[in-house]
Structure 1
Amino acid sequence: MLPDLFAWVESGLPGSLATPGLHGIRIEESSKEGMYILRAELPGVDPVEGIELSISEGVLTLRAERGAETTAKHHTEFRYGTFARSVRLPAGARGDDATAEYTDGVLTVEVPVPDMKSGTRTIPVRRV
């Protein structure tokens, strides 16, 4: 019988820096109208007691915990325990103004990002 391929991929490669007992969180990132938006799948997690968000030095860290039910199970593919994920925020992101909402098992974090001037600036050279 082959091991569960998805569980193997999610647990990280052998020798990786993954912490044993720590599961990953599936996310999607996008930006819209001056906002960096991160959505994370966290079904069954209590948003008040089970989710911790922090921003430090331009890195958003999300930790969540889902406890196992105490009933005996014949088979389960649910993941219980501690989940964690860190992502680097875009340059200039204002972490102090971040907001978060949890709806139907999905956590949405929005962080304002000021419009950065893009393009190339030409620097004139003077002859002396």
Structure 2
Amino acid sequence: MSGMIERLPGWPPVLPDLFGWIETGVPGLHGVPGLHGIRVEEALTDNTYVLRAELPGIDPSKDVELTITEGMLTLRAERATETTAKHHTEFRYGTFARSVRLPAGARGDDATADYKDGVLTVKIPVPEVKAGTRTIPVRTG
């Protein structure tokens, strides 16, 4: 064999499947047809949890929904755009969603969200919790 991958007769080629994963994601991770992921960055600085999400080409007042339920922040967005050139038209549309677990003590009622230059920034206060030391007495017999 000269460095080529040998496959059994009747088996599909390996590389097209690999490139398909790059385009559509790893099989089994998308549970809902038409639902796409959102790329996010998370940080916890100065007692504030910050989530930044890439959402270019949307109207945040109409197309974004942010919810917090039981310590989970869920971001849903819909996009429907059309690009037209001389001999080419392209549609980009779909529903995008992402859920992340918030840090313990996050105050979701005080969350804020801003949208600028295609990036949604969500800030949620996370007060510092003082971890006290408690001595537990040991009882004997």
TM-score, length of structure 2 as denominator length? 0.74
Question: What code does the residue aligned with 1:59 have?
Answer: M
Bigger RCO (CA 8 Å, 6+ sep): 1
In the TM superposition, what is the alpha-carbon distance from 1:31 to its structure 2 partner?
A: 1.4
CA contact (8 A) 1:12 1:18 kept: no
Give the number of the structure whose residues are more often strand, by fraction. 2
Q: In the aligned structure 1, how far is the partner of 2:137 from the partner of 2:97?
A: 50
Q: How far apart, in 1, do the equivalents of 2:31 and 2:24 lie?
A: 7
Corresponding pairs, count: 125
Q: Contact conserved, 1:11 with 1:24, CA < 8 A, in 2?
A: no
Please name the residue that 1:57 is paired with: 70
Q: How many angstroms does 1:121 deviate by? A: 2.8
Q: Deviations over 1:52-110 (max 9, x none)?
A: 1011111100001110317487486x852110000011111110110000000000000
Distance in 2 between residues matched to 1:66 and 1:17, nearest whole Å: 18
Question: Does residue 22 in structure 1 map to residue 35 in structure 2?
Answer: yes
Three-state SS of the structure 2 residue aligned to 1:40 is: strand
Aligned to 1:125: 137
Residue 125 (structure 1) shift: 2.7
Structure number, greater radius of gyration:
2
State the TM-score, normalizing by the size of structure 1: 0.80
Q: How does 1:74-113 map to 2 (within 5 A)?
A: 74=88, 79-113=92-126
Q: Is the 8 A contact 2:43 2:50 kept in 1?
A: yes
For 1:10 and 1:60, locate their aligned partners in 2 and report how far apart those are by CA, in whole Å.
26
The residue type equivalent to 2:135 in the other structure is I
Ranges of 4+ aligned residues in structure 1 off by more than 3 Å:
1-5, 9-12, 70-76
* Contact 2:82/2:92, CA 8 A, preserved across alignment: no
Q: Tell me, which stretches of 5 or more residues in structure 2 are unaligned?
A: 1-14
**Contact 2:65 2:77 (8 Å CA) reproduced:** yes
